[in-house]
Chain A
Amino acid sequence: MKRRDFLTASAMATAAAAATRLAEGKDAPAVDDAIVAQTGRGVSWDKAPCRFCGTGCHVQVGTRDGKVVAIAGDQRAEVNKGLLCVKGYHVGLALYGKDRLTRPLLRKNGKLEPISWDEAIDVIAKRAMADPKGFAIYGSGQWTITEGYAANKIIKGMIGNNQIEANARLCMSSAVTGFLSTYGVDEPAGCYDDLDACNVVILWGNNPAEMHPVLFSRIVDRRSRGEKVTLIDIGTRRTRTTGFANHFLQMKPHGDLAIANGILHLLSKDGTYDREFVKKHGAFRGNTQPVTLEGQAISFEEFQKRIAEYTPERAAELSGVSAADIRMLAGLFAKRDLRIVSLWCMGMNQHTRGTAINDLVHGVHLFSGHFGRPGDAPTSLTGQPSACGTVREVGTLCHSLPGGGLVANAEHRKEAEETWNLPPGRISEKPGYHTVEMWRRFSTPKDQGGDITTLWVQVTNPGQTLPNRAALFEASRKLPGKFLIVSDVYPTATTRDADLVLPSALWVEKNGMFGNSERRTQQWFRQVKPPGEARDDCWQLIAVARKLHELGHPGTRDKDGRFLFSMEKDGKEVPVWRFEHYYDINVDERLFDEYRRFSHHKHKDLAPYQEYVKARGLRWPVVKQPDGTYRETRWRFAEFDDPYVKKGQGIDFYHSVSKDGRAQIWFHPYEAPPEPPDTAYPFWLCTGRVLEHWHTGTLTRRIPQLFGSMPNAYVEVHRDDARKLGVADGETVVIESRRGKMLAPVWIDGRGSPPPGTVFVPFFDETMLINRVTLEAHDPHSKQPDYKKCAVRLRKPAPGEVAG
């Protein structure tokens, strides 16, 4: 058989198996045989979760001669069932941009110059020794679980200042505070299986056709099989998703608060709420003054009194959505025989009332009893592959400890100190600074309160993502005594201004574990080596910890005097801090099996590492069975699936805020956005993403096919506004706020369609930094900034005008 014929036959076997599975809804075992058949020509295949979004698709990675040469959707993965999106099937090319960072670089006389790893590690350790209180780490939801765990252990168990944050603060911390204030424990109760069982999907400011395309195709595929799934898109602009929706409800910015209150009002007034569910499982809660995340219990009567104001007409006035459409939504929730999924991502989270709108959407589901059955679930999605697994579960935020613990909680600190074998009192009870505050302190002179002096960034690009770039990022670059370290794989808007740049391994160039949006923990092995001197982020952290140990930092020792990252094999210590020995043992397995000891106290049980080697991810709690096997949990708090709900209870919110097994149904009033348009800045600015690019584009803009499809950012402008401004499609305009400006070409009737008075700019393009313009105002509880709404003006540029 000719090689081409062999490959074509193999490809057809893959397609036929996928077609069978999509048509019949069942597994097609032959497909993996087809993939394995290719190993005959020297290609080795292994599993890995996709590197990009929080969906958590699994791919099969084909490698030959030390390079990734093929990517296939993993047929055995429940998440994506063999399908991939346009980013996923190009993920292998993310490794092979021509400008990979391959050597450590230190700024000398204003220029980044190559240095050795030994020197780089020494520089970092000496900065930490000189000012341990001012040393901070800033990571992301792209950290693997074990990278985040190592960073957390260094900051909280070793340095002891709790100055660790992650960019997930910028994308999903309002979802966290919403889950905590409603259920007392973070992360969705449901899972992706709900998408297969629901009758109605409500998208709250969400565009999954571009941001989570594989999940979206799961819904659309049901329609193509003849099933009826009603799709309701609530948003401030039309997107690709809108084209598939049965109803598009165009709202004003912050209108979601009014819509949710309008639904609650109607359910209450009409008596169509689920009395039995509320009686057994619900409690009512309202705000205190000053506001706290816990609020205070209120009676049902008080709740009714507060919600009475939100008649459909009042909600319509505030939201811009018609009273008839608000009645339509309430009518759907009033029907018990329907199964309703609410989905959201940045639209509800990047919101100065993010916690409130999260609470309200949970409240609509709880009040109407649309909870705890397959297909009935309020479910947040994440944008990064391990925002849940690393940031939320490992707790790489300034107030958290692994497994859902809090640094302010004495019991949680005690547990962490025991697990890490630390002397009592090592972990500080004082939270560090949240992201905006951490960067503000880094950008403020030390004698004026700027007490963060060294900031080590890993796997993220704050130069392109922090709001109000001039104030929170650029300011530090002009201050003496402020030192910025960046570990990354490519030059970025952040490395360009760094004092020290460290070249990192990417994705299958290292062992790793991610946790996706549905509580699924995933594992993969290193499959190719990184280029040049690029090294694992986890190794970089351990190497710095070891250098601190050698320099005599007392925090590097446990209470028996042992190095905190000491690892043994056959009774001998393995010097994993030396890169040539890093893969002598599986460091990921050692760290994960240590970390999973934290996972029990909030019932987020994780299985031993080796269980994940066998699986395409497992959803926690993963509980050991009498026969020694491990069973994942698809639906939490529901007796039929959650092992922590006792027989006969039906539903039990076992981390209830009110300590009585009940979830909280909150009242939060509507509040206007912080910076509405005015005569000087007459447009709303919304920012977001596009299908082809992932986050700041540092990976996807180096993939020729994706770059070619969408090379640069743009500003979507309504045709009427463009006419009034006298600008044509494609013409460059200045987008300017009170904080800064950027230039971009106008796109009329483009990918999305904003209404008159609103413009949209994607943030993937490092040549057009919209974070010069965005606002740092943030939610009082989650501290998550609002990137979806601030006031801007548009004008034609002056000759030679540039961004700034």
Chain B
Amino acid sequence: MTISSLVITVDPERATELERTLACHPELELGAAVRNRLPAVLVTSDLRSSAEFAERLGETAGVLGVDVVRVDLVDDVESEGSAEG
């Protein structure tokens, strides 16, 4: 399991609509927006899924940017090693 802390920067004019859209993602828990900055927690099975989700999120209409501010790596460190062997 990977838990990531995100800050999603949203287009203020589309914030309400966007929050509704984002709330449909079961992996994503939304916090209370501060102006156009929306704190969120992303829970995925592994880091790759987390990175892919964050990238897809950044491409969502109305999302101006996604900052990953913290990632808990506990499970990944214990299970992953060299990519090259």
Contact = CB atoms under 8 A, between A and B. Distances in A.
A18 B7 contact: yes
A99 B84 CA distance: 8
Interface string B38-52: 111101000110010
Given A8-B3, A703-B83, A224 B65 contact: yes
A12 B69 contact: no
Given A14-B5, A18-B5, A224-B65, A8 B83 contact: no
A19 B65 contact: no
A221 B9 CA distance: 9
A96 B77 contact: yes
A707 B82 CA distance: 9
B45 to A, nearest CB: 13
Given A18-B39, A23-B37, A72 B51 contact: no
Nearest to A707: B83
Interface in A256-306: none
B68 interface: yes
Contacts of B43: 4, 8
A92 B72 CA distance: 11
Contacts of B31: 12, 15-16, 19
Interface string B43-76: 1000110010000000000001101111111101
B84 A89 contact: no
A130 B36 CA distance: 67
Nearest to B9: A224
Contacts of B67: 18, 22, 83, 217
Question: Interface centre among B47, B48, B78, B82, by most A CB within 10 Å?
Answer: B82
Contacts of A428: none
Interface in A16-51: 16, 18-20, 22-24, 35
Contacts of A64: 74
B32 interface: yes
A68 B77 CA distance: 8
B51 A92 contact: no
A424 to B, nearest CB: 52
B51 A709 contact: yes
Contacts of A62: 72
A552 interface: no
Contacts of A23: 34-37
B71 A15 contact: no
B37 A84 contact: no
Interface residues of B, number: 42
A791 B28 CA distance: 50
Contacts, number: 149
A16 B72 contact: no
Contacts of A24: 34-35
Contacts of B26: none
Given A93-B76, A703-B83, A15 B6 contact: yes
A245 interface: no
B74 to A, nearest CB: 5
A221 B39 contact: no
Contacts of A591: none
A70 interface: yes
Interface residues of A, number: 50
Given A8-B29, A705-B51, A15 B73 contact: no
B66 to A, nearest CB: 10
Contacts of A19: 7, 31, 33-34, 37-39
A489 to B, nearest CB: 12
Contacts of A217: 65, 67
A99 B65 contact: no
B5 A15 contact: yes
A7 B70 contact: no
B34 to A, nearest CB: 4
A41 to B, nearest CB: 10
A722 B74 CA distance: 45
Contacts of B47: 90, 704-705
B23 interface: no
A541 interface: no
A385 B49 CA distance: 29
A690 to B, nearest CB: 15
Contacts of A704: 47-48, 80-81, 83
A353 interface: no
Given A15-B5, A99-B84, A220 B65 contact: yes
A390 B56 CA distance: 39
A83 B69 contact: yes
Given A8-B41, A11-B41, A15-B39, A70 B69 contact: no
A650 interface: no
A7 B34 contact: no
Given A11-B5, A20-B34, A702 B83 contact: yes
Given A23-B36, A70-B74, A72-B69, A15 B83 contact: no
Contact of A99 (B4, B64, B85): B85
A702 B77 CA distance: 12
A511 to B, nearest CB: 22
Given A22-B67, A84-B69, A702 B5 contact: no
Given A15-B31, A707-B83, A89 B68 contact: yes
Contacts of A148: none
Question: Interface centre among B37, B40, B47, B69, by most A CB within 10 Å?
Answer: B69
A668 interface: no
A2 interface: no
Contacts of A20: 34, 37
Contacts of B39: 12, 15-16, 18-19
B9 to A, nearest CB: 5
Nearest to B38: A19
Contacts of B36: 23, 224
B73 A99 contact: no
B3 to A, nearest CB: 5
Pick the 8 closest A-B CB pairs, nearest first.
Answer: A707-B83, A15-B39, A98-B82, A97-B82, A98-B81, A19-B37, A15-B5, A72-B70
Interface of B: 1, 3-7, 9, 29, 31-41, 43, 47-48, 51, 64-65, 67-74, 76-78, 80-85
19 contacts: A7-B3, A8-B43, A12-B5, A14-B70, A15-B40, A18-B67, A18-B69, A19-B39, A20-B37, A24-B34, A68-B77, A82-B70, A84-B69, A92-B73, A96-B81, A99-B82, A701-B83, A702-B81, A704-B83
Given A4-B43, A67-B78, A221-B9, 14 more contacts: A8-B29, A14-B69, A15-B70, A16-B31, A19-B39, A69-B74, A71-B71, A71-B73, A97-B84, A98-B81, A220-B65, A225-B35, A704-B83, A705-B48
